[in-house]
Amino acid sequence: MGKRIWLIFIVVVLTLSTGCDVILAGIPQATPAGPSLDEISTLSALTAQAYTTPTLGIPDIAIPTITPILDLSGQGGEVPSDNNISEVNSPTKTTMPGEIKITGITQKSPGVAQVNWVASGDSPYGYKIVYTDQQTYPTYPENSYASIYNSNATAGVISYAPDRIYYVRVCRMLVDSCELYSDLGIFAFAPPTATPKPTKTPSNVIVNGTTVPYDSTLVINIIKSSGDGKAYFAWTDKSSSAKGYKIVYSTSSQVPAYGKDPYFHIADSTVRSAYVDGNSNTKYYYRICRFDGTTCTSYSAVYEFTYPKYTVASTADSSTISISSITDTATGVAQVNWTASGTFPSGFKILYSKTNSLPTLADSVTVVSDGSLRLGNINGDPSTLYFVRVCKYSGGECIVYSPVVNFTFAADPATITITNLVDNTTVGSIDLDWTASGTFTNGFKVLYSTSQSTPTYENASLLAVSDGSARTATVVGSSNTLYYLRVCKFTGSGCGSYSNTVQFTTQTTDVVLTKDGVTPDTYNWSLPGGDADNTDGYKLFWAEDDITPIWTSGLSTQQSAAASLRTLTLASPLTTGQYILRLCVYNSADAGSCSAYSNTIEVDVP
């Protein structure tokens, strides 16, 4: 209907405009401007058509789903209504449950540090990483910060200046403020090491008139205070250290040394920083050394550091905490129980350390966020002593501590026994097998040494066997060398339980023992150096088990052969069983010994 009225209107307007033309006498007139009869007929026909809605040939468009704004009263994002003005003017803050814990701070590149964390609870507005080089708990927006807008983020980066200690926290954002903070992280990174200039000056220093040598490739870069009684210690090493490092120190000796002065042990040879402890307003002399499992092989120059003066601030908080018991609950796991009086809205922290006798938040920490609980678990190495205490946690710090309790984790019940030990086909290498009972999540370590008769994780060379189901390994060694070997259960940071210790002397190159394929109980051998005779002859010896026998002069299972011989038939045939045989190139000097050994051969007698 609307279209028909519109067309009639157009016809009327055109007709009127035609009729209103002024005709002046004596002046030629233009052709009338109104519609022709054909046009009027066309317009009239259009008015008779039925009206239909036109259809556009456009495909359907998906309408995006709008992410809803978190509708928490007083948190932003609400649209106030006329009857809700008082509620908007007086918001009630809603705190969402959760916890954030910093898990690591690493150098991503020079000047850039990556902060990693784990968080529980929702964080729809993302996170802020707040940090400062002042000794305090950083807050937003008072200190420097980096914004992380991903609610699922677990890492972010910040910039830093080298050679400076930083204090870091991660906070959960709620609109434009920090609603929840993580624990405190502390880090410092040394500046990039400049390319050293060659020098002919010996690396030594004069102390009290005595020349003290040091290794110029092992350098203490910085020692800086990182809190009351604690200092950050960083070093560089252009070489390597098989068994980590020892930080030796003294308040009296200007040249502290391992074996006579106290020390901190750094087991991980890849680590280049640590935290050390000291007394208020006291000067310490520090050196770091490379450790080979037995002794220090080289030292850095001495570094002097005086801890700032501090006092233990008293607190008005009347809360008390006391550890009542610590008990083993599983291998490497213990439950800490305590009593406490007072209120604990932010819960507790269980602090524990193998080296720090007064553990702090910089050491191992178990979080107990429920202030009504009075127990929590700690993890450690079996048979290892730890210092443990519990603190009241508030405002990002410990404000009340329990007394320290010393606790040694129970020995690991797993058992390991070395059952077979023979030469590998490669001269100098050793094949060994073992049996094991228990769980071996982190696998094994094969320990071997040429000097330590009881090899341990701290004093021996290590061969990693990461597969906990493995029961065999090959140690690569040197020919004609005595080794002491042992297998241990690896806990992830040390040995939980050890096998028996066995010893084995590897084959001498080209001393080859074989079993005669024709004559029963006959064995042949060849010697190096043009097959020259050995003046004192030979000893063929054996054992009826899977462990290679050790030759001694009183061994009952042996038979001698003269210097000129290269074959020997046993006087008494071996009876049914499994045997390992070996040839000793005998030396009568030095109370009788073997100057060389052949390979081992295994014989099964049916």
Q: What is the CATH number of the domain that holds 555?
A: 2.60.40.10
Nearest by Cα to 299 from 333, 230, 253:
253
- Read off the pTM: 0.42
Whether 535 is in a domain gets the answer: yes
Whether 195 is in a domain gets the answer: no
d(CA 156, CA 515): 67
pLDDT band at 71 (very low <50, low <70, confident <90, very high): very low
Helix (H) or strand (E) holding 326: strand 320-330
CB 256 within 8 Å of CB 286: yes
d(CA 49, CA 47): 6
**Residue 492 sits in the same domain as residue 457:** yes
pLDDT tens by residue, 573-602: 999 988 999 999 999 886 788 988 999 998
DSSP string, 265-312: EE--TT--EEEEE--TT-EEEEEEEEE-SSSEEEE---EEEEPPP---
pLDDT band at 159 (very low <50, low <70, confident <90, very high): confident
**Residue 287 sits in the same domain as residue 354:** no
Whether 86 is in a domain gets the answer: no
- Output the pLDDT for position 206: 58
**Residue 517 sits in the same domain as residue 501:** no
**Residue 120 sits in the same domain as residue 140:** yes
Question: How many domains would you assign to the chain?
Answer: 6
CB 115 within 8 Å of CB 155: yes
User: Which tokens is 126 given?
Assistant: 């993302």
Residue 147 in this model has a pLDDT that exceeds 90: no
Whether 131 is in a domain gets the answer: yes
Q: Give me the mean pLDDT over the 509-529 stretch.
A: 88
User: Which tokens is 330 given?
Assistant: 């599983």
- CA 410 remoteness from chain centre: 24
| Domain stops at, among 347, 378, 408 | 408
Structural domain of 442: 415-505
Integer angstrom CA distances of residue 368 from 70, 95, 122, 408, 417: 29, 19, 19, 22, 40
- Output the pLDDT for position 415: 93
**Residue 593 sits in the same domain as residue 530:** yes
16: number of Cβ within 10 Å: 10
pLDDT tens by residue, 285-312: 999 999 988 889 999 999 999 999 887 5
**Residue 400 sits in the same domain as residue 421:** no
